[in-house]
Each structure stands twice: as C-alpha cells, then as structure tokens.
Amino acid sequence: MRLKIILMGLSLFCIGVLTAVTTMAQEKKEGEAWYVGSEKCQECHMDEYSEWHASGHPWKLRRGWQVKYTPLPLPKGYVWDDISYVIGGATKKARFIDNEGYIITTAKDGSPAKTQYNIQDGSWSNYHPGEKKPYKCGPCHMSAYSPVGHQDGLPGMIGTWVENGVGCEECHGPGSTHTYQDEPSKDTIIVDASGQSCGKCHQRSGTDIPPLASGGFVRHHEQFNEVDIGAHEGTDCTECHDPHKRADQVKKGCSSGDCHSEKEYVSFAKETIHGKAEINCIECHMPKATKSAIKTGRFAGDVRTHMVKINVDPAASMFKDGMLKGKKVVYSQGFVTLDFACLNCHGSKDKMWAAKNAKDFHKTEY
C-alpha cells in the first residue's frame, strides 16, 4: 500500500514536470520571449554584468543564504536559518524577512526591538515596530513582478517574480529571443534610455506629482520627480548616469560637454574659496536633502537630491502640505533651501548670512 502511494506520488510529479515542459515548449513554439536570468546575460556582456553586480540594483532583494557570510548582523534573537530574504544591504540599510515571508519588526521572542540595520553608522532603527508586515515591495525590488500569488508559497510575500533584485531583464525585457540567436542584435532586446524607464521605480506614488517628503527630508527613491520639478526638468537620467553602474559614477561633470561650460562660469567657480578648496557643484546644488536610512546632521540625510536649484530667499520653505488620494502629505517645492545648501558646512552661520553671500553667487544668469 505504501509503495502504491509512493508510485502514485511519483506519477503525479512526473505529469507536473511534463506539463510544465510542454507549456514552455508551446510558449517557445508560439514565439513568445521568456526570461533567461541575469547570469545568462553575463556570457556575452561581462563588463556590463560586473558593473551591474557592483551597483545597488541586484541587492534590492537577496536570499538569506546569499547574505549569510557578509558582515550584516541580525535583529535580536535571530539566526540565519530564520531568514528567508534580505532587503537591501548594499550601502544604506538592510531589513530582514522571516521564513513566512513577513518583514521582521520585533525580536524573535516578540518583544520590542529595532530591526532595520543602518550600514553607514552601524545603528539600528525601528521599522513598523510590532506590526505583522507583509513584503509588498513590488515591482521595484525584483524583476518581472506579478501581483498574483506568493513567491515561494510564503504567505507574507505578496506577488511573484522571476528574479530577485533588479536584474538585466527588468529594464531590457525578456531576453530569450535575443540570447538564443546565432548573432544577437539590438533589434531583439529593449534598449530604453528614457527617464520614464528609470521612473518606474525612482518615484513613490506616481510620476506626475511633486517629490514626497517626510520628517524634514525628501523621501528616498523620488529622483524622477525631483528632476521633473527641478531646474533639470526634461533631462533624461542616462544623460548623467550609466544605469549599469553605481549612481555616484556619473558619466560627466556639471561643467563638461554642452552643460554648464560657459567660460565665465567655470573660471569664476575655480577662483572662489569653494573652487580653491575643490568643493564641487553637487555639494551645494545636490546636498543630501533626502533620507533613506539615517540623517547625519540637522540638514543632512544620506542621499543627494536632484532638484539642483537653490532658493536664496531666507524665508523660503523647501516643503509644503498637500493632499494625495484623500490623505494629507508633504511635498517638496522643487528647490533646495539655504539651510541644506549652505549651513551643513557653515554651521556657525544662519540663513540671513547665507542669503547675503549666496545672492548672485556665480555672477551668471540661468
């Protein structure tokens, strides 16, 4: 009887495998492209793969066993066998998912505990303390997200996907048609350099609203909205960034090419005390007005803003109250104020002093 049950189970398993293989064959026969995974792309695009692997994109979601031997500590009471996935862990912060697919918000025994690890200073922060928090970070932390089902059958994981983290095919589309050609060409893969492509994830609640703010800082992952409302409106992300590389490895500086290369602007900037101290444009125009994990000062978060324009009115506020989907929210105004632009370095001064010295600072109209 026991043998009969085992044989029946094996038969059902084989039928399931054959059905899956048949379905895949039908999809191939019908000419529909399927996802091959980033490892497959590595075979031909080693340089891009290596750059991507060192960026933050594949770190958005990893299995616990992939992170086990890194320096990341765990929340109180947990061991690595309790961890199914790790969210983040590249440069800013890490959160942890238990074996039911829920984000950990307490110590293992259920007592209060800070469960978000902040990499920059080694501190811990609260993350929805005590809540039963499902993982519903699609579609921005994985590739080819579907809101249907539960990844790995875990009840806390909302949706399913083909690859953890942001892989090659999240931006380039399913790669089978391209990968399995005798001579792959760009005609069989998506190459989209538009800002809208990046804006799928580098915004929080839509691309047609001002950047959201909270706690006196711009919220993280609002870069698309920051560019769209700031002085660089209409600029595509790839004009400055190579999407395969880390964000701080920009293609060009502010004064290169056809951008801010006016002779009088560049020469003046070099002659100022800032220029002589080799303080570059982004320190003032792209201060860390955004907070992802921690703040490092009263007017300093841990992510650079992309709004660029500095409002030199000492009475100006960087934020304003608003409504979104019937709820009260805080929006960014589309400019950086003097406290963020100047007072992080000139801590003994005030905004009146900053306004006096910042007015017409470059002697160039924009």
Looking up tokens 């249907």, which residue turns up?
148
Predicted pLDDT at 279 = 87
Predicted pLDDT at 30 = 57
- State pTM to two decimals: 0.87
Instruction: Work out the average pLDDT over 166-176.
Output: 96
Q: From the centroid of its chain, how far is CA 358?
A: 32
Q: Name the DSSP class of 146.
A: B
The DSSP element (H or E) to which 95 belongs, if any, is: strand 93-98
> Which residues neighbour 237 within 8 Å (Cβ) at sequence distance 6 or greater?
195, 198, 202, 223, 224, 227, 243
Q: Which residue has the higher pLDDT, 119 or 193?
A: 119
Nearest to 93 by CA among 108, 114, 65: 114
Q: Name the DSSP class of 222.
A: -
Nearest to 194 by CA among 145, 243, 125: 243
The answer to whether residues 108 and 83 touch, using CB atoms and an 8 Å cutoff, is no
306-338 pLDDT, tens digit per residue, is 999 999 999 999 999 999 999 999 999 999 999
Q: Which residue has the higher pLDDT, 30 or 67?
A: 67
Looking up tokens 């909270």, which residue turns up?
214
Task: Work out the widest C-alpha separation in the chain, in whole angstroms.
Answer: 91
- HEC sequence for 240-289: CCCCCCCCCCCCCCCCCCCCCCCHHHHHHHHHCHHHHCCCCHHHHHCCCC
Quote the tokens at residue 143: 């590739």
Predicted pLDDT at 56 = 92
8-21 pLDDT, tens digit per residue, is 444 434 434 333 33
The answer to whether residues 211 and 331 touch, using CB atoms and an 8 Å cutoff, is yes
Distance CA 256, CA 277 (A): 20
Predicted pLDDT at 364 = 56
